[in-house]
Amino acid sequence: MPAGLRELGLREADVDTVLDDILTLVPGDNPRTVDRAGLCALLHAAWAGTEPAKEHA
């Protein structure tokens, strides 16, 4: 089983490319605010196969 997006063939350089495409798909009524920086961190963690940093409340 792949550990991250890297093992599925996504190049790290493509993370920023798909980032803008994904942002356009986030529904306006999403229960959690999604911003570019947070999604970027999530995608880079998913690319590397690691867990993203936890948000502090």
Q: Are 8 and 48 in contact (CB under 8 A)?
A: no
pLDDT value for 57: 47
Classify residue 56: in a domain, yes or no. no
Give the total number of structural domains in the chain. Answer: 1
Q: What is the mean pLDDT of residues 31-40?
A: 93
pLDDT for residue 14 is more than 60:
yes
Which run of H or E residues covers position 39? helix 36-48
Question: What is the extent of the structural domain holding 39?
Answer: 5-48
How many Cα atoms sit within 13 Å of 24 on the Cβ side? 4
Mutual angle of helices 15-23 and 36-48, in 10-degree steps: 130
Q: What is the pTM of this model?
A: 0.78
Q: What is the mean pLDDT of residues 43-47?
A: 93
